[in-house]
Amino acid sequence: MTRIDVEFPSGDDRCAAWLYRPEAAADASVPIVVLAHGLGGVKEMRLDAYAERFTADGYACLVFDYRHFGASEGEPRQLLDIERQLADWAAAVRYARRLDGVDSSRVVLWGSSFSGGHVIEVAARDGRIAAVVSQCPFTDGLASALATPFVSTLKIAPSVVRDVVAAARKAPPVLVPLAAPRGGKALMAADDADSGYRALRPEGLDFVDAVAARFALQITRYFPGRSARKLSCPALFCVCGTDTVAPARATLRHVDKAPRGEVLLYPYGHFDIYLGDAFETVIADQLAFLRRVVPV
């Protein structure tokens, strides 16, 4: 396989991405899997592991960073805005469809955690996506908010107010940490959140473990799981049974309504799925799904 650095426009900025191409005949048009990370994550945080497996199986892959994060453009930095991220997904799909050697009718969306919800919403809006793979997906903002310890919400609140004021004054954002142990000051505050999130970061990665605090006001209003019923394509939902960030009960309620959905429930936590035996189990299931519904 080959991997090259590419970029594509989204709004007034450009998104940085990796383009993986499999070893294939020069005249072959292959399916492409588009991948992006979850809450505040960047492509270096284990997305290469997934893309390498898909590419080895004959799929092209486009792995991108959202605007305001990682190697992508966008000011202010660390601004997490749901509609802007959905626009980045739409821009990535447009770019993927125009690539030489790619079958534009066979674009697959792969998302995890927060992007696991995004891919449901994007595919429902697009209407021409070939398949969706969504693992440990964020589907229900209220369920995730209720899963956050109340003490953590109280600790975040002053930063949210200060950041809203900063935004009004066009000042630099006030940041809030992404992950902390249970009861800590972070958007994800659970027993496995801090250690789990840190385990995804390769040594030497220059990474800011925080986002603009104003994002906390968007969480409870985002229900991408409700769009599962609108999906016209095959969809695989890999749900973690002991998920502390995206509760499985709410997720199952939403994804069970996908007309062509398949649900796999695993005895893993939200962060287990990226590493070790859990990763090997889940990636094998995802590859089996893709071979069946979007064969090379």
Predicted pLDDT of residue 130: 98
> Which pLDDT does position 85 carry in this prediction?
98
Does position 28 have pLDDT exceeding 90, yes or no?
no
In tens, the pLDDT along 208-221 reads 999 999 999 999 99
- Residue 27: its pLDDT value, please? 61
Mean pLDDT throughout 248-259?
A: 97
| Residue 158: band (very low, low, confident or very high) from pLDDT cuts 50, 70, 90 | very high
Task: Check whether 25 has a pLDDT greater than 60.
Answer: no
> Which amino acid is it at 49?
A
**What pLDDT is stored for residue 228 in this prediction?**
98
Question: What is the mean predicted confidence (pLDDT) over 223-234?
Answer: 98
Give the per-residue pLDDT at 236.
98
Domain ranges of the chain: 2-148+222-293
Question: pTM here?
Answer: 0.96
The pLDDT, as a whole number, for residue 57 is 96
Q: What is the pLDDT at residue 23?
A: 87
Q: What is the CATH number of domain 2-148+222-293?
A: 3.40.50.1820
Whether 184 contacts 194, CB under 8 Å: yes
Instruction: Say yes or no to pLDDT of 125 above 60.
Output: yes
Q: Report residue 84's pLDDT band, with 50, 70 and 90 as the boundaries.
A: very high
Cα Dmax for the chain: 58
**26 confidence band (pLDDT: 50, 70, 90):** low
96 has pLDDT over 70? yes
Mean pLDDT over each residue of the chain, to the nearest integer? 96
Tens digit of each residue's pLDDT (9 = 90 or more) over 165-214: 999 999 999 999 999 999 999 999 999 999 999 999 999 999 999 999 99
Question: Tell me, what's the pLDDT at 1?
Answer: 80
pLDDT at 37 over 60: yes
